[in-house]
Chain A
Amino acid sequence: MTTARRTNVSAVGIFLAALFAMTALLSLATGAFRIPLGDLLRIIVDGPARDTVDSIAHDVFWQVRLPRVVLAVVVGASLAVAGVLMQGIFRNPLAEPATVGVSAGAAVGAVLAIIVGLNQLPLGVQIAAFLGGTLSTALVYVLSRTDGKTEVVTLILTGIAINAFAGAVIGFAVFVADDDEIRSVTFWSLGTLGLATWKAVGVVIPLAIVGLAASVGFSRVLDTLALGDRSAGHLGIKVERVRLQAIAVVGLLASSAVAATGMIAFVGLLVPHIMRLVLGPRHRHLLWTSAVLGASVTLLADLAARTLLSPAELPLGVVTALIGAPFFLLLLRSTRRSQGGWA
């Protein structure tokens, strides 16, 4: 490997746009009730008020499929971008909301809110998920850094500890919960798009838009941070301030995603890694391409979740973990090799 392989950004952009359009259409058409492509396009052209095709197809599309697809897109993009940001600020390709415990922290916040009865309040669960997620991000940051850098081993072990703690809290919640609450608690820990409604979408979209828009501002700074804190500081970057801001954005993106769908692991790990291999590590392109690929990957995973064992539906978090965990192992091995092993 003498010259770095970099693919043309426009070509990648066109490919990603096509992939996204195809997976979105496929997701909208496929499911327990199949909508032929011609009908699908007519329904879209008609809009939600008019119905010239078939009232069942019309309702399935507007009330079930579309909110689900929109939620998948928003959550997938949020998780992927949260992964990019997290890897950038920790200077580590293995950081990801789920592996380091941020998603688990958000789930704990949500679960505790349900048990305490905060789910009666508007946005009570979402706010609790956000606080839980942001708090665990900050915790990982403080615990896994020594002398201004994050060692892979420390990072992963910190994630294990936080995930174990979260698992215990969620287990305890299941123990004390009544039947109704157990259903919601399971939802948080497995992750699914099955409960997608326009109301859920309406809550996540503003948070995700704020988070995604804020992430754009970090692109150049994250590049420079690759030099290490000290050299980035010599180049005029307020390293600690940037890191705290980025952590807040990660907390916002990951927590709002978890608040809407429960824990969906590995999207934030897999997607940025693929884009980095294709385009190189510059964040200016890495951020938006990861958002688009994250949306597509989540759509595909959800498609698999609802069609593989149809009519039964797999939790989405199970599907992403089945694909993501082996990939994580491979990445762990290559990182270990590039760092000369760790004791």
Chain B
Amino acid sequence: MSASLSARNIRVVRGGTVLLDGVDLEVRAGELIAVLGPNGAGKSTLLGAAAGDFALSSGSVDINGRSLADYAPRDLARVRAVLPQQITISFPFTVREIVAMGRSPWLNDDDDARITAAIQRMDVASLANRTYQTLSVGEQARVSMARVLAQDTPLLLLDEPTAVLDIGQQERFLAIARSLVDEGRAVVAVLHDLNVAMRYATSVVVLHEGRCVASGSPQTVLTPALLSNVYHQKIQVTTTADGRSVILPERH
């Protein structure tokens, strides 16, 4: 069970606006790729393109060397899972029922065990019998991630998985993300927190106005010059006493 994704030369035009132009994205088993960039840079669009949500103006997306178009929807759902930014659920389903929906590409004997495992891994067992609508935004995000984990795919595409989590939940989430990578899964995550990317990503892709302006290991890519240029904000990278890089906006 391993997967690789290769998106090449992605171009997306919608309503006459070029949202992405000539962007590449590669991820292999055991890697966590962080997609970075300011608001409106095209991060979510890139994730949607990789997920096969819409037709591309040009470019190709392959999973395990096979074009997305050659997959039956169910087969694709057994290879890759997608965590969207936020989900509204139309009826009062309970947390456990929602996590169980993650099993719908499979329907095996071990579904119940996997649902329980996903619920425990995301630490939402205490919410299992509550309806999604009664949860806080942070709790909803963890439930959605539990549903994605229940899908049990070698490739995961996560759109801002940590955006609504508090700092403690965020650290626990990143530990889970790292363990997913250690299990040999391939993870692509859209992130806003540059320090998180610096610390956890195998490599990063920085988008700016629909183009990829840099990619590679976070230590080489995330430089003050590049970040200051992309975010229109003077940004400095300092090193703490224990040798970790910290990215901070310059303040006066």
The residues of A with any CB-CB pair to B shorter than 8 Å are: 1-4, 6, 91-93, 220, 223-228, 230-231, 233-238, 276, 280-282, 338
For A224, the chain B residues whose CB sits under 8 A away are 101, 104
Q: From A277, which residue of chain B is reached at the shortest CB distance?
A: B92
A interface secondary structure, majority:
loop
User: Which one of A230, A235, A282 lies within 8 Å of B77 (CB-CB)?
Assistant: A235
CB pair A4–B94 under 8 Å, yes or no, is yes
Taking A4-B94, A236-B77, A276-B91 as contacts, is the C-beta distance between A227 and B134 under 8 angstroms? no
What are 16 pairs between A and B in contact, CB < 8 Å? A1-B131, A1-B134, A3-B129, A4-B129, A6-B94, A91-B90, A92-B90, A220-B104, A226-B90, A228-B90, A230-B82, A234-B81, A235-B102, A236-B76, A236-B78, A338-B133
Known: A92-B90, A227-B101. A233 touches B73 (CB 8 A): yes
Collect the chain B residues with CB atoms within 8 Å of residue A282's CB: 93, 97
Out of B75, B92, B133, name the residue touching A280 (CB < 8 Å): B92
- Beta-carbon contact of B84 and A280 below 8 Å: no
Let me know if B104 and A280 touch, CB within 8 A.
no
Cβ contact of A230, chosen from B84, B91, B133, cutoff 8 A: B84
Nearest Cβ on chain A to B149's Cβ, whole angstroms:
13
Instruction: Report if A4-B130 is in contact (Cβ < 8 Å); known contacts: A235-B102, A236-B76, A236-B78.
Output: yes
B84-127: which have CB < 8 Å to A? 84, 87-94, 97-98, 101-102, 104-105
User: From A339, which residue of chain B is reached at the shortest CB distance?
Assistant: B88
CB-CB nearest 10 A-B residue pairs? A236-B77, A281-B91, A236-B74, A91-B90, A236-B105, A234-B82, A236-B73, A3-B129, A4-B131, A226-B90
A-B contacts besides A227-B87, A230-B84, A234-B81, 7 pairs, CB < 8 Å: A2-B134, A230-B82, A231-B87, A234-B77, A236-B74, A237-B104, A280-B94
Would you call B151 an interface residue if the criterion is a C-beta within 8 Å of the partner chain's C-beta atoms? yes
Q: Which of B24-82 contact A (CB under 8 A)?
A: 51, 53, 72-78, 80-82
Interface residues of B (CB under 8 A from A): 51, 53, 72-78, 80-82, 84, 87-94, 97-98, 101-102, 104-105, 129-131, 133-134, 147, 151
Q: A1-B134, A2-B130, A236-B74 in contact; A231/B88 too (CB < 8 A)?
A: no
- State in angstroms the CA–CA spacing of A1 and B92 once bound together: 12
Chain A hits for B82, CB < 8 A: 230-231, 234
Complex interface: chain A residues within 8 A of B130 (CB): 2-4
For B102, list chain A residues within 8 Å (CB): 235
Residue from A92, A235, A238, A281 within 8 A of B104 (CB atoms): A235
Query: Which of A231, A235, A281 has most B Cβ within 10 Å?
Result: A235
Bound complex: CA A86 to CA B199 (Å)? 48
Contact A223 B93 (CB under 8 A): yes
Chain A nearest CB, measured from B64 CB (Å): 16
> From residue A334, how far is it (CB to closest CB) to chain B in Å?
12
